Structure 1
Amino acid sequence: MAENNSTLTVAQVAAVLHRDNQTIRYLLDNKLVSWGMSFRKRGSKRKTYIIYADKFMQETGIKIVESEVSK
């Protein structure tokens, strides 16, 4: 089965989980969830957050409307 490479934003996940963006970032930064990750590029002060839509939907059971998912 081919995997869908769709990702979600921190804001989308925060909205469906009824949490704030900082909580989602904390979960990703501390590797407390397996449906996403965070990293910082060398020399950068900002972090990048990646949340895999398929894995998020599989593990949480929360379906995200396709039009809300960035490709």
Structure 2
Amino acid sequence: MSEYTFFLFHKLLVTAVNLLVLGALFIAMYRASLYPDEFTPIFFSTLFTLFGPIFLLGYIGKRYLNKRRPVLA
């Protein structure tokens, strides 16, 4: 993998994780708005439930990219 390709995939991974976090925030806000009396517990339970797989995906993706990082001479 060339250096350019590595940095391109790294930027795509960071952008994808950021978009997934933003999507999780939207989903949590929507689900919590359905039950205004229990807004905070539903919001945080939904958000933290979605954060786990998203950050795990980012961690695995980062490790995968670092294994294929080009050697800089």
TM-score, with structure 2 as normaliser: 0.23
Greater strand proportion: 1
Query: Highest relative contact order (Cα 8 Å, sep 6+), 1 or 2?
Result: 2
Structure 1 or 2: larger helix share? 2
The structure with the larger Rg is 2
Q: TM-score, normalised by structure 1?
A: 0.23
